[in-house]
Each structure stands twice: as C-alpha cells, then as structure tokens.
Copies of this chain bind each other. A is one copy, B any other.
Amino acid sequence: MSGERFRVLYHIQGDEAAALEKAKTICLEQTVELDAGLVPAGPIRDWIVGRIEQFAPVEVGVFAAWISYAVETSALELTQLLNVIFGNTSIKPGIRVANLDLGEHLLNHFPGPRFGIPGLRKLLGVPAGPLLCTALKPMGKSPAELADLAYRFALGGIDIIKDDHGLTDQPFCPYRERVQACAEAVARANAQTGKTSLYVPNITAPVLAIAERVRFAQAAGAGGLLISPGLTGFDALRALAADETVNLPLISHPALLGSLVVSPDSGIAHAVIFGQLQRLAGADASIYPNYGGRFAFSREECARIAEGCRMSMGHYPPIFPAPGGGMTLDRLPDLLILYGEDVLFLMGGGLYGRSPDLADNARYFLSLVGRSRRPPIASGRAS
C-alpha cells in the first residue's frame, strides 16, 4: 500500500443531497461494488474504497466531486485504470468524467507520447506554424490511385498524409499494396522537394493483426501510424507507444468515441477523451471534429480539447490537437486565434475540392496558415 492515489473529477447532476449520495455511490461502485454496510472495516474501507476529496457546486443542479482511488486499484494496467475511472458508473446517467489528475506514480508508469509537439516538429523539420494533414480517400480507390494522391500532396508540402481511417485491408485496396505504394510515392516526392512529408498508414485492425501491420509499415518506410482506439481499445495504442521497436509518431482517430462525449450530462468530457486519455495512451496527435464543420462540437469544446492536449501533464510532452474539417477561408482567422500555431489541421474534402491540382491546393492552404514555401525546384510548376 503506497498511499498514493489518483483523482477523478465527476460532474454529477442533482440537488446537493442527491449529488452527494451519488458521489458516495461512485466511491463504492468503482471499487468494491458492495453496499456500504457490507464493506469490511480496515484497509478495504479505508484505502480501497474511493474517497471524496472535494465536493462543490458547479452550476444549478450540477456538483463537482473529486474522488480519489488508491493507485494499486488500477493494477497499473490501462484497461483497469479506465475501469476504476468509469467502468460501471458509465452505465449511470447524469454522471460525467470531467477531469483527471493521475499523479506522478501513474504518469511515470505509462510512458506517454514519444514525440509530442516538439518531437513531431523536429521529425518534420517545421519548427513553427501550424501543421497540415490530409487523408487519402475515398474508400474504393486502388493502391495506385491513392499513391498518386499521396505523391501530389507530398509535392505540395502537406506534412502528414494519412490513410482515410476506413481504409484497412479491403479486397479492393489491400493493406500491403497500399502501404508499399503510398510510402514509395511520398518518399519519391520528398526526394524531389527536399522536404519531409510523412505517410501514415491506418493500422487499426483486429487485435492479433496489429503487430504485423505495424512491422510491415515500418519496413515500407511509413512515417507514422494511425489508430482508432475507440475501435481497438485504448490499450492497443498504449502498447504501441510503449514498444521501443515502434519508433514512429502515433496519430489517434476518434472513430466510435463520439458516443462517449455526445451526452453533455453523461459519459466523458471532450478534453479527457481527446486530450488526457490520448496522452496517457501515448498518442502524438489527437484527431477530433472541428467546430463549424460537419460535426457538432462547439468552439468551447474544441478549445477544451486543445487544452487537454497541451496542458501540463507530468513529464508528458504536449501533443497536437488535430481538428478535422471546418477549415474554410472565412473561418481561418478565428481558427488561428483559438488554436495558435501548435495545431495539426486535418483537411479532407476542402483540399480535394478546391481545384484538380492537389499539389497547388496543398501549397495554397500552407500559405494561408503562414507556411508559404517556394515551389519545389523539381516539381516544375509555380504555385
């Protein structure tokens, strides 16, 4: 018994008495799963059961409870840590995980992001300014067609060129063929431009197939890995971040995680899911839907996510918030005000739709975020 505890902030709906009662129930539900009267006296009651550390009103009908748990209840396993944080209580409406304070012991145990913002900037050779990312799409194109897109985006200077997250190992676009072709295409463009664009294949896959896809991606020259922890479980991401043989940046995609944040009174807060937990699991950039695009996140929610990605968190580096969509010319000034320069803008349709010249489209958007480059000598055209 180390005496060390980590803390979870729950926002609880109800009047003060009801919310306090719910907070007490959380202390039991997340640990011993017994009524208070059945909990043995001694260390189980005093140490294992969650402890309300602070309880205060947030707004009318909502109370904030910081509850602490013994670090040992997590078994230092990410799966079990998530379980202690919210396993059974996720089933109760009107309780939302609003913040995590994991403490030194847990943060030291989990290695966190390998690259983060400074590491990814160094890898890309882009010390300042927003980064740009795009996705190879649509599903249904062949590896050769996607590789051609990748080549043109890399020529145009897009920093990170990732698979669309729905591309895995479909018969019409097998993983190995795609990864080989796209990695080669980006390497060819990099040789022409003298710059570094990273090709990031999607390694979201059945649990027993992930390792093999990672190895193949590494051998093919991939510059990073894309994974959707909502589909694989967060621990699959953590395992990649903890594996010293996987020395590539990890980009996290939000697929299926939407249900966790969609109800404002229940589930897990945006900043926790798309910020803190991503860093705990080792993502170097966290993709989420930008405000004003085709999803429903608010500007405020996006600001909180960016905060979760970049706030102080033990020895972890800050990671890139990677808002996707909604990047139109008229909204760019506000985006730059909100996010500053430590941001990875994910552009999909906008980059495809501007003109058929994808390299030129890429240069255009780079110039919009203050990342103008001279046209690469070898590309033979002016932007």
Tell me the A residues contacting B by CB distance below 8 Å: 1, 25, 29-35, 37-40, 43-44, 47-48, 72-73, 75, 77-80, 82-84, 86-93, 135, 137-141, 164-166, 168-172, 204-209, 228, 230-233, 235-236, 238-239, 254-263, 266-268, 289, 294-297, 348-349, 352-353
- Between-chain CB contacts (< 8 Å), 9 pairs: A40-B140, A83-B256, A87-B256, A90-B258, A91-B254, A92-B296, A206-B239, A207-B207, A208-B239
Known contacts: A91-B254, A255-B87. The answer to whether A349 contacts B73 by CB under 8 A is no
Q: Which B residues are CB-close (under 8 A) to A256?
A: 82-83, 86-87, 90
A349 touches B35 (CB 8 A): yes
Q: Which residues on the B side are within 8 Å of A266 (C-beta)?
A: 259, 262-263
Q: In the bound complex, do residue B238 and residue A235 qualify as a contact, i.e. CB atoms below 8 Å apart? A: no
Give the docked Cα–Cα distance between A171 and B2 (Å): 11
Q: Is the CB of B138 within 8 A of A168?
A: no
Q: Is B38 a contact of A352 with CB atoms below 8 Å?
A: yes
Compute how far the CA of A348 lies from the CA of B195 in the bound complex, rounded to whole angstroms: 61
Q: How far is the CB of A229 from chain B (nearest CB, A)?
A: 8
Q: A44-B141, A258-B92 are in contact. Are A166 and B80 (CB under 8 A)?
A: yes
User: How many angstroms between the C-alpha atoms of A236 and B297 in the bound complex?
Assistant: 30
Q: Do A349 and B140 touch across chains, with their CB atoms under 8 A apart?
A: no
A137 x B93 contact (CB < 8 A): no
A82 to B256, CA, bound (A): 8
Per the bound structure, the CA–CA distance linking A203 and B257 in Å amounts to 24
**A90 to nearest B CB, angstroms?**
3
Contact B79 A140 (CB under 8 A): no
**How long is the Cα–Cα vector from A207 to B243 in the complex, in angstroms?**
13
**What residue in chain B is nearest A90 (Cβ atoms)?**
B258
A139 engages B93 (CB within 8 Å): no
Chain B residues lying within 8 Å of A139, measured Cβ to Cβ, are 31-33, 44, 48, 73
Q: Cβ of A43 and Cβ of B140 under 8 Å apart?
A: yes
Distance, CA A353 to CA B92, complexed state (A): 23
* Contact partners of A39 in chain B: CB under 8 A: 138
- Cross-interface CB contact of A140 among B48, B82, B165, cutoff 8 Å: B48
Q: Is the pair A77, B168 in contact by a Cβ cutoff of 8 Å?
A: yes
Known interface pairs A33-B135, A33-B166, A79-B205. Does A255 touch B88 (Cβ–Cβ under 8 Å)? Answer: yes
Contact of A231 among B44, B72, B87 (CB under 8 A): B87
CA distance A262 to B97 in the complex (A): 14
Q: Identify the closest chain B residue to A28 (Cβ).
A: B138
**Contact call A168/B79, Cβ cutoff below 8 A:** yes
On whether the beta carbons of B207 and A168 are closer than 8 Å, the reply is no
Cβ distance A31 to chain B, nearest Cβ, rounded Å: 6
Known: A34-B352, A258-B90. A166 touches B83 (CB 8 A): yes
A260 nearest CB across to chain B (Å): 5
Q: Could you tell me the distance between the alpha carbons of A39 and B92 in the complex, rounded to whole angstroms?
A: 41
Determine the distance from Cα of A207 to Cα of B214 in the docked complex, in whole angstroms. Answer: 15
A321 smallest CB distance to B (angstroms)? 15
Evaluate contact between B31 and A138: CB separation under 8 angstroms: yes
Q: What distance in Å separates the Cβ of A85 from its nearest Cβ neighbour in chain B?
A: 9
Smallest Cβ distance from A73 to chain B, in angstroms?
7
